[in-house]
Amino acid sequence: MIQSAIELKEQQHKQEIEELKEEINQQHKEQIDALTIALTEQFNQRMDAQLAHQVAQYEEQFRSLEGHRVGSSKPPVTTERAL
């Protein structure tokens, strides 16, 4: 009788420990998920800013190379004959 009471208590303790482990694991998972979301958002913002900066630099280089003729790729019309 005492042995079965001890075994019952041990089983209850094991069950409580398992429940606590599951609760802790769930809390850790939620924390990791929140951190992942925050880091991903921060990364995306930085990448967007970098991309916008690069686009601005490329546009500036393009304007300087094209003599500020952005968007106009047509050659000038002349009345001279080609050789």
Q: Report pTM.
A: 0.56
Question: Structural domain of residue 43, as residue ranges?
Answer: 28-55
Q: Tell me if 11 is assigned to some domain.
A: no
The percentage of the chain sitting over the pLDDT mark of 70, rounded to a whole number, equals 83
Q: Tell me if 3 is assigned to some domain.
A: no
- Comparing CA positions, the residue from 69, 46, 50 lying closest to residue 59 is 69
What is the per-residue pLDDT across 37-63, written as a single tens digit (0 to 9) for each? 999 999 999 999 999 999 999 999 888
pLDDT band of residue 68 (cuts 50, 70, 90) is low
In three-state form (DSSP H/G/I as H, E/B as E, the rest C), the secondary structure along the chain is CHHHHHHHHHHHHHHHHHHHHHHHHHHHHHHHHHHHHHHHHHHHHHHHHHHHHHHHHHHHHHHHHHCCCCCCCCCCCCCCCCC
Q: Tell me if 39 is assigned to some domain.
A: yes
The count of domains in the chain is 1
Q: Tell me if 40 is assigned to some domain.
A: yes
Q: Tell me if 47 is assigned to some domain.
A: yes
